[in-house]
């Protein structure tokens, strides 16, 4: 993750965490929704910035189409 604010949040999370093992009934994997939502939000910001960056760059350098442009969907 290259976003500095997000890295700071993660940094504090890192100091709070300690390992916990097998949970008989609770499915800790169900927290994936939370994880992918937060990571997804940050990733979406990066994705959108890159998308517009490449669009703007393409506008100025029409003949030089970048291979790294994220897919638009």
Where on the chain is the footprint of other proteins (CB under 8 A)? Answer: 1, 6-7, 10-11, 13-14, 16-21, 23, 25-41, 43-48, 70-71, 73
Question: For residues 18 and 60, which CB has a smaller minimum distance to other proteins in the complex?
Answer: 18
Cα separations in angstroms, 18 against 13, 14, 15, 35, 69? 10, 8, 8, 17, 39
Determine which helix (DSSP H) or strand (DSSP E) holds 11, and give its type and residue range.
helix 4-16
Question: For residues 12 and 60, which CB has a smaller minimum distance to other proteins in the complex?
Answer: 12
Q: Shortest Cβ distance from residue 8 to other proteins (Å)?
A: 10
Q: Shortest Cβ distance from residue 53 to other proteins (Å)?
A: 14
Secondary structure of residue 26 in the 3-state scheme: coil
């Amino acid at each position: 993750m290259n976003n500095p604010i997000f890295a700071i949040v993660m940094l504090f999370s890192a100091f709070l965490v300690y390992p916990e093992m097998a949970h008989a009934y609770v499915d800790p994997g169900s927290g994936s929704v939370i994880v992918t939502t937060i990571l997804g939000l940050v990733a979406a910001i990066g994705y959108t910035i890159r998308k517009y960056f490449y669009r703007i760059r393409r506008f100025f350098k029409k003949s030089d189409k970048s291979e790294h442009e994220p897919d638009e969907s």
